[in-house]
Structure 1
Amino acid sequence: MTQRRVVVTGIGTINPLGNNIAEYFTNLEKGVSGAAPITHFDAEKFKTKFACEVKNYDPAQHFDRKEVRKYDLFTQYALIAATQAVEDSALDLEKIDLEQAGVIWSSGIGGLKSFFDECLGYAEGGMTPRFSPFFIPRMIADIAAGFISMKYGFMGPNYCTVSACASSNHGLIDAFNYIRWGKATVMVAGGSEAAVNEPSVGGFNSMHALSTRNDDPQHASRPFDKDRDGFVIGEGAGALILEEYEHAKARGAKIYCEIVGGGCSADAYHFTAPHPEGKGAKKAMRDAIAEAGITPDQIDYVNVHGTSTPAGDRPELKAVAEVLGEHVYDANISSTKSMTGHLLGAAGAIEALACIFAINHGTIPPTINCENLDPEIDPRLNLTLNKAQKREVRCAMSNTFGFGGHNSTIILRKI
């Protein structure tokens, strides 16, 4: 079967660095931290009192009161990012085949806040249980994909990929494959997460996974630094419009880049810790490179998972070095989680957007807050520390890994 080419023709986001693409890209280049004290709830009793929250968000600017009752915050973010991306793509919904347009939307957790609130209401209630009729549809992770399809009438493939922090990379790979295989022409793909809430922060605190640098939140997410003490939780959404190349070209669409490969694997090792030798990560990267039909020396930028944990940062960088060989010293590497925090299931989506920024602006977003490099990390690596760097990017590779040993890698190419 002849496989079709897949390009990106629309992008959108709402995340801790900006409520649209322009703001996000500007702050990526500037090296801005999105971390600040938590405002979504009173975090005084928690070990971690800060997060990377979306700023200046008012749902009333986007939805009416009836809609807000139906949408958990993760769905609100999804609809905002997807709407931006569809508008950016300039798709004419009256001309495209809606049965060939689909949505694959990802979330690692879904409506956790809705679940928590309903359980609180039940626990505090009287003799008769009272639950909202919107409780179940607000909570389930697949509902965002459903609402996006309803808004635009897209009748093609429609579902949610859930693989913890690898979720939206898996979703992008699935959307890419549907178009390559001729089962769709246009796909909305991306992810959203709204997990800055009591059960999420409390749960990650109990695992000792989150930074507790409460006196200096903006410098808490510090991948590769010897003094890092955990990740910073983030929230928001990223959306990409994937389109068959000839279809995009025929309508004169703006094309940001081409998606050329994806790789997926399992560590088969531990339920939360990555494999210490990065075995699964290496397989995902090698499979993505092979599928892309490129050689490792064509990859100019690697957006690593880079969560700011010793258990994750070290083996990933060693895996990248093994996969790229000596070329690794010519490539740029960075962790944009140093700025955005970790958006869990939405991480892959906003990091794919960071790769698109690098490809289209010839600028590598930095890894901020690395002041004292971990002595176990190869100092010859160009980790793009603390300041953006200019260079042409032919191909960018983005890694995301999730609890359960899930690994996913995508490769984007300049066109």
Structure 2
Amino acid sequence: MVHLIVSVSRFSMLFMIAIYTYYCFATLKKNISERRQTRLYKKQTTLMYGLLINANLVLYLVMQDIRVLGLCLCEILLFAITLLIYQKIYAHASKALVNNMCMLLAISFLILTRLDIDKAIKQFAFAGVAVVITCFVPILVAKLKVWDKLGFLYGLIGIGGLAFVCLAASTTYGAKLSISIGPVVLQPSEFIKILFIFFSACMLYKSTEFHHVVKVTILAALHVLILVASRDLGGALIYLITYLVMLYVASRKPIYMVLGLGSGALASVVAYHLFAHVRDRVIAWKDPLSVIDDQGYQISQSLFAIGSGGWFGVGLGQGMPDKIPVVKTDFVFSAIAEEFGVVFAICIIFICISCFLMFFNISMQVKDIFYKLIALGIGTLYGTQVFLALGGVTKFIPSTGVTLPLVSYGGSSLLSTIILFAIIQGLYVMQVDKGESDERMERARKKRR
């Protein structure tokens, strides 16, 4: 009976996320009315709750753990509070981004509950703290006018923080990433990347003269080189691409992009010869089955999981995701593809793409160059991280050890990503408020005439 319920439920969940994904792009149409948008957002919310309840009921039947139902109720409450905050306090916030953030979090809770319910409870606690912390971020971004005056401070804090991690952090999978403070484990580079975006935007907003660009690039390169010294090559690549895109848009000189990409390619060759774990990942990427007992075991298990899941998945609790090393963090997408199906996994990719498009859409709407660069940097960083995470688990590129934003387990990654979403919301609110203010002034001028 349980097996039958699992089999039926996987198709209902596929249907719900497919419709949700369709609505993600339907709301982006240019000529869509505000009333229709609102209806679609409400339907998305209903589908998200339906998916959450459906999957948790299946997990309860499979696991026979009452904590699953308790956690489900807490998750529903968290999402209701989050949606209420953005409906009542930030009436002009992007409802689409809020919905996507909640949906990706819901998927994270579901797959972590399946893999390790204790980790799922921790992830829920991280998300709750993140929502409380970030609920003030949009108004701070929109109201405070000092963000563009602290460029060197952002840079110094970022370089100092990364240097401290390089010297004091413990080594995990060949890289120095985390600092332990009692029972709390932090990954500072996840938060410093936010400062890095603000630093780059501040400095490039001031000037794009050649001598100034050289100075800024040297400071940006220090961030990247410290990450390389820490052997966090995935993080270094994210920082590098984010800076190059921001530099190109600010200066509109393709030569900077060409030189930056050339330097990055040269650095990757050097890293291959310097670091053994980089060589191992390249070997595993080229032919994982030939080294399946050693370097290729992780990526091989990832590909086996995706292949065995097929288009529609084997059903929650019916797969073997525990066979994949570090499945809760770096390879969570493979576990999702195995049990929910490749169609479900593709929908997740499209939800991430819709977030990426909305980030860039907001960037194009913002008139102030500084805030435009902030939105552009956030969109580039998010898109690059998603690409590296998905590319690594599918053998499209060598694994970089990058987590999938909002889905993978990890408090630092989760909190920093929700902060990025909150900053974007602040920029969106600011732009809408400015547009309404300009309309009121224009109407007042017409009346005076």
* Same fold (TM > 0.5): no
Which structure's residues are more often helix, by fraction?
2
* Pair member with larger Rg: 2
Give the TM-score normalised by the residue count of structure 1.
Answer: 0.31
Larger RCO of the pair (alpha carbons < 8 Å, separation 6+):
1
Give the TM-score normalised by the residue count of structure 2.
Answer: 0.29
